[in-house]
Amino acid sequence: MAERASGAPRPPTSSAIGSASWDGRTLAREQHSDVLFTDLDGTEVRNAGSVFNRCTFRRARFNASAHEDAAFLNCTFIGCSFFDARFLRCKLVGSCFDGCSFEIMQVKDGDWSFVGLAGAHLATAQFEGVRLRDADLTRARCKGSVLRSCDLSGASLNGADLTSADLRGSELATLDPREVMLTGAVIDIKQTVAIAQALGLDVRAR
């Protein structure tokens, strides 16, 4: 089971909603706290600025959904589907994902610090300009994924598969190239120097 990067336990819920259908619904600045959502159908939902705080989602479907300036803070996602979901300038700080699918999910800007994505299948996911500080990406399967211009400071990447991933512009200072798979990964010159130094090489201009 995936855990939060902070090691904090899953927050308890105080109410429950089962088998709700939000298919195609627009959520405008709604507020939900400490709710357990089971079998939620959020297909094609349009989420504009709504906030979910310490909520748990079991088997929720967020397929083809769009979230803008929304927040899922310290939430737990178990067996959820994010096929073709899009997140723009969203905050998912402290949230944890367990057994979820992320096919062709797109995340742009926003703060995903301290998220738990250990072992997640992110091969077709795209993250661009996202803050992923102290995120748990241990053993994450990111072969061919896009992680561009992301802040990965303090992120746990041990055992992650970054084969052929596009990492250009991302902060990789804490990445240990001996602990991840990097074959064919696309990086820029600055990252090349950082990785060489992490391997103990003495990098000189000439």
Q: Looking at domain 112-206, does it have CATH number 2.160.20.80?
A: yes
Q: Do domains 18-94 and 112-206 have the same CATH topology?
A: yes
pLDDT 10s digits, 132-161: 999 999 999 999 999 999 999 999 999 999
Residue 7's pLDDT band (cuts 50, 70, 90): low
Q: What is the pLDDT of residue 67?
A: 98
Q: What is the pLDDT of residue 198?
A: 84
Token pair 């000439």 is found at 206
Q: How far apart are CA 56 and CA 49, in angstroms?
A: 19
pLDDT beyond 80 at 84: yes
Q: What is the pLDDT of residue 18?
A: 92
Question: If you count them, how many residues does the chain have?
Answer: 206
Asked if residue 115 lies in contact with residue 132, where contact means CB atoms within 8 angstroms, the answer is: yes
The domain locations on the chain are 18-94, 112-206
Fold classification of 18-94 is Pectate Lyase C-like (2.160.20)
pLDDT 10s digits, 37-66: 999 999 999 999 999 999 999 999 999 999
Residue 97's pLDDT band (cuts 50, 70, 90): very high
Q: What is the pLDDT of residue 9?
A: 65
Show the tokens assigned to 146. Answer: 């896009």
Amino acid, res. 33: S
